[in-house]
Amino acid sequence: MNGSGDAGLRDIDLRRLRMFVVVMEAPSLRVAADNLFISQQALSSAIRELERQLGVELFSRSRRSLTPTPAGEALYRGAVPLLAGGEQLATQVRRVNAGAPAPFVIGHAPDLASSEVFRIIEPVVLADPSVPITVRPVFADFMREELLSGSIDLALGRGVSAPPDMATTIATEHELRLAVRSDHPLAAHARVDMAALAGYEIVVWGPEHEYEYTDILVGLCRRAGFEPRIILSTLLGTPPHTAVIAHPKACAFVTNEPGWIYANSIRIVEFTDPPFAPVRAMWLPNTASTLRRQILAAAEGVV
């Protein structure tokens, strides 16, 4: 492929980059051209010019189809969040200019309670109560989509697998405890060893939403020397400790403070050697946010 091969972002026409993304997501070049309201020839020329600027082939061409090269796949993975971040920045600038900045929206997975999110952001809220922040639940499977669309600015969750095109970090860790019903044998103990769970079922969220968090919990049990008997909760949208109401012989991992809750029908028991569950944060790469930086800095001190 002829070309300079040293083009930086400032040298690349973002309009052509958007065209490239449309081509990658369309079933054919003709459909992509129709979606862009341009001719197929004009679209083909734009893609070839983008290849010339980058000095790489983005597609392997045949008479009937365009097949992305490894370089094309790599460009697509980086271009989608890059373009999304640019569009969101433009929207933010317009809102600031109009004197109506949008609230910073935090999406949290169901395995992380809104009260736990508040504990994370509390130092930021106390430092400046006028900062508009919105917190709402988002299933882990939809976090990437909502980050790309700008519906949320930051995603938090324990059972969140970060896609390779998103920026991510472990924001903090929360101490795990055990929830049991008042008539459960372990409710008679203020503290228990992890190995004490070997004789009981452990109720967790369904794997279709929180599979990574379930893997973490299973790993804790295995390190304690036993294979856990896992059952899936049929409850969605309620706090994890409520699962033991429907499953009286089971126990559940929670982050509640120790003691009696739910009208003394559930006891939260501490572990003698407490395990910790990570809280993962995820956001659009190549974007800057003072508020996000403050929230992540505050999260480091929340355990």
Output 238 or 67, whichever has higher pLDDT. 67
Cβ atoms of residues 20 and 47 within 8 Å: yes
Residue bearing the bigger pLDDT, 183 or 210: 183
- Strand, coil or helix: 279: strand
Query: Residue 91 has what pLDDT?
Result: 84
Task: Note the pLDDT tens digit of each residue in 238-280.
Answer: 788 899 999 999 999 999 999 999 999 999 999 999 999 899 9
Three-state SS for 181-201 is ECCCHHHHCCEECHHHHHHCE
Structure tokens at 266: 């559930």
Asked whether the predicted pLDDT for residue 209 surpasses 50, the reply is no
Numbers of helices and strands, H then E, in the chain: 9, 14
In the prediction, which pLDDT does 208 show? 46
pLDDT at residue 82 tops 50: yes
6-44 residue pLDDT tens: 555 556 778 899 999 999 999 988 999 999 999 999 999
45: pLDDT strictly greater than 90: yes
Per-residue pLDDT at 158? 85
pLDDT (0 to 100) of residue 106: 97
pLDDT of residue 108 exceeding 90, the answer is yes
Distance CA 197, CA 194 (A): 6
The helix (run of H) or strand (run of E) holding residue 230 is strand 229-232
Give the pLDDT of residue 48.
Answer: 92
The mean per-residue pLDDT over the stretch 106-134 comes to 91
Residue-averaged pLDDT of the chain: 88
Place of tokens 């569950």: 277
More confident residue, 244 or 100: 244
Q: CB-based contacts of 8: which residues, under 8 Å, 6+ apart?
A: none
pTM attached to this predicted model? 0.78
Average pLDDT over residues 40-52: 92
Q: Is pLDDT at 206 greater than 60 in this prediction?
A: no
- Domains present along the chain, CATH in parentheses: 14-93 (1.10.10.10), 103-173+279-300 (3.40.190.10), 177-274 (3.40.190.10)
Condensed to tens digits (0 to 9), the pLDDT of residues 133-163 reads 999 999 888 999 999 999 999 999 986 777 8
Closest among 234, 231, 238, 273 to 252, alpha carbons compared: 231
* pLDDT-above-90 percentage for the chain: 63
- The single residue listed with the structure tokens 């890059």 is 82
Distance of CA 28 to the CA centre of its chain: 31
Given this model, what pLDDT does residue 234 score? 78
The pLDDT, as a whole number, for residue 211 is 65
Q: What b/e readout covers 196-212, taking b as 16+ CB neighbours within 10 angstroms?
A: bbeebebbbbeeebbeb
91-104 average pLDDT score:
83
Task: Please give the C-alpha separations between residue 85 and each of 8, 21, 78, 81, 152, in angstroms, as whole numbers.
Answer: 17, 14, 11, 6, 12
Quote the pLDDT of residue 170: 93
Task: Say whether 275 sits in a helix, a strand or coil.
Answer: coil
Rounded average pLDDT over 193-219: 81
